Amino acid sequence: MTTHAAVEEALADPRVQKDKKHWTAFNAGEIPPDWPLISWIIAENMLTSDGAEHTRLRKLVSRAFTPRRLERLREAIAVLADGLLDDLEAEAAAAEGGVVDFKATVAQRLPMTVISDLFGLDQEIRPKLHGQVNVFFDQSIAPDQAMATFMEMWALLTDLVATKRAEPGDDLTTDLIAARDEGDRLSEDELVWSLVLIISAGYETTMNLIANAVRALLGHRDQLDLVLAGEVGWDRVLEEVLRWDGASGFVPMRYTTEEFALAGVTVPAGEPLLLGYGSAGRDPERHGDTADLFDITREDTGHLSFSHGRHYCLGASLARMEVLELLPRLFARFPGLDLAVADQDLEPLPSFIVGGVQALPVRLS
């Protein structure tokens, strides 16, 4: 599904579900265990559950992911952003030609540090976990290597749960362990699966959203000038980036529970659906003839980058906070920031699940 209307319809229709039990081919044994996307299918978390089970898991997880806790992070995110910009300046001063990779120095490290602090991850395991998450989203990795990396991540997060159960801290892992609803709580596997989902999304998508936002503004200097002149707010910039070049491409997988007409096409029961969040944002039926253009002044910046309906992203507020704390600081400090290579020479990520580039080389002036 690639249009805004079709994706939104599929997200809202109760005949489209997330549980793999509805996928005919999977249940018939036609999907091999080394299929490249198998880890997205076998997951057991909020992203792959429906109905009462999804409501239960989401309710338990949201008890730890409260707006009050997230708001407490704002000052720490601002301090972290300033420190990363110090690092960017220092690296640029020492680099040949003043060229530095913005993605590696800032866009990667900001969400990695925020999520790691939020879940109480020790410093020594953070880079390792980030590397494991990268493999999770990389479709160029061989299936056996991807599965081996996934098992390593599972073991690492299982150890994290055991550590936090023995030594509770002021962090989300501890809160997830303690979360209860009328005596119900997350099982051990549900805890680890929830960590896989939230940490993976918190690392990868926010990192690429930050890089995509900077790339969009550097490629549209006239619009950046409007923001720096105070004529357009940073919040509008972010929503247009989410529409035009959000980090979410396609998120596997949803399934039809019966035969019905979806977006005008009859779809059999038990079929897998791949929803195009990125293409929906550039749909001319929704955004007109300028749908493919980045325009922070457009009236309708509506998008589905954080999904829609019952599976709307719990981390949307945190992602927005990180971007909106960073971007104003970045361009206030380095208004002459520019790409060090032509935009068309940037190397895309080997993924259709997330959208972005491998690196974002820049000069500060």
State pLDDT tens for residues 87-140.
Answer: 999 999 999 999 999 999 999 999 999 999 988 998 888 888 888 887 777 777
CATH of the domain at 134: 1.10.630.10
Chain mean position to CA 74: 19
- With a pLDDT cut of 70, the percent of the chain lying above it is 99
pLDDT of residue 182: 65
Name the band, by pLDDT with cuts 50, 70 and 90, for residue 62.
Answer: confident
pLDDT of residue 288: 96
Question: How many separate domains does the chain show?
Answer: 1
pLDDT of residue 36: 83
pLDDT of residue 188: 87
Given a cut of 90, whether residue 225 has pLDDT beyond it is yes
pLDDT of residue 181: 63
pLDDT of residue 310: 87
Residue-number span of the structural domain to which 105 is assigned: 4-363
Instruction: Work out the average pLDDT over 174-194.
Output: 83
